[in-house]
Amino acid sequence: MEKKELIEKINTLRKEKNAIILAHYYQESDIQDIADFVGDSLALAQWAAKTTADIIVLCGVHFMGETAKILSPQKRVFIPDSMASCSLAESCPADEFEKFTQAYPGYTVISYVNTTAAVKALTDIVVTSTNAKQIVDSLPEDEKIIFGPDKNLGDYINKLTGRNMLLWEGACHVHEQFSLEKILELKKEYPQALLLAHPECRKYILEIADHVGSTSSIIAFARNSGYKQFIVATESGILHQMQKDNPDKEFIPAPPEDSTCACNDCFYMKMNTLEKLYLCLKNERPEIFVEEEVRLKAVKPIERMLEISA
């Protein structure tokens, strides 16, 4: 089907079904352009919690759909491709994480939002990269904390807050592959360019970055900066929004170690396409379900996060 026709059909279906389309900044450009709202993980959770739509189509990865369903159990939640997982969420199986937490009784368990509902159900407070520092800072200084699953974000937050949180050894396959050498070469080629990095990147990338932040923070920084060139160390889908916001600025994707792969693309995020979005609205599947017992446990740490970051 032609793109124009797909867009018309999506628009008709979303009206007929009172559906809202929420998209993450890593989605392909066409999906971002058709979405009712584009945002980072925190903003998507906040939207899912407050929308009056009957149906939420979450154009992102599975844990984002689950978070929406956990917060809005009375709504039907769909994602365009049920296989759109997340390497970070996969790096933290719930049974192993449970053993880890049981080995440290008395610790507060903080989980990054990039986790399954089952891991959230084992958690005291959920965080996103937007509010992780704020939430850790809100806890008493002597609180003993486990942080999972992203070791790079955890290490970065330890550095920012002076804490010594115990870290789970998880990581994201996209953010771990940026090449320090190639970024340093690019900085020579573009001496005026600022390096913007997501905190899921390795420590040595974060140490040379001019700004470290979540997707929304990177976008806001570029918008408000007087600089004209930026090297961007996060998933490449974000460049669409940055370029749209700032037609007069130049955004250069940070290169991966392996120059033969498109590793700046999160292949999970890119499993969603306009066509799958259309089919999802039409056929009302794949649908996200979360067992009620798990949901009741998982909703508490997410709500705690939303209260602190309100």
Contacting residues for 302 by C-beta, under 8 A, at least 6 apart: 45, 67, 70, 71, 113, 120, 126
Find the binding residues for ligand SF4 in span 169-228 (CB under 6 A).
172-174, 200
Query: Residue 267 Cβ, how far from ligand SF4 at the closest point, in Å?
Result: 8
- Residue 87 touches which of ligand 13P, ligand SF4, none (CB < 5 to 8 A by kind)? ligand SF4
CB 43 within 8 A of CB 25: no
Q: Is residue 268 close enough to count as binding ligand SF4 by CB under 6 A?
A: yes
Binding mask 80-99 for ligand SF4 (x = CB under 6 A): ------xxx-----------
Q: Is residue 121 close enough to count as binding ligand SF4 by CB under 6 A?
A: no
Query: Residue 177 Cβ, how far from ligand 13P at the closest point, in Å?
Result: 12
Query: Residue 197 Cβ, how far from ligand SF4 at the closest point, in Å?
Result: 13
What does each C-alpha distance from 89 to 30, 124, 188, 241 come to in angstroms?
Answer: 26, 17, 36, 25
- Residue 215 touches which of ligand 13P, ligand SF4, none (CB < 5 to 8 A by kind)? ligand 13P
Find the binding residues for ligand SF4 in span 148-177 (CB under 6 A).
172-174
Which tokens hold the place of 188?
């020579």
**What are the DSSP calls for 8-61, one per residue?**
HHHHHHHHHTTEEEEEETTS-HHHHHH-SEEE-HHHHHHHHHH---SEEEEES-
Q: Is residue 115 close enough to count as binding ligand SF4 by CB under 6 A?
A: no
CB 62 within 8 A of CB 89: yes
Nearest to 270 by CA among 246, 245, 240: 240
Query: Residue 200 Cβ, how far from ligand 13P at the closest point, in Å?
Result: 5
Q: State the residues that interact with ligand 13P by CB under 6 A.
A: 40-41, 114, 128-129, 172, 198, 200, 214-215
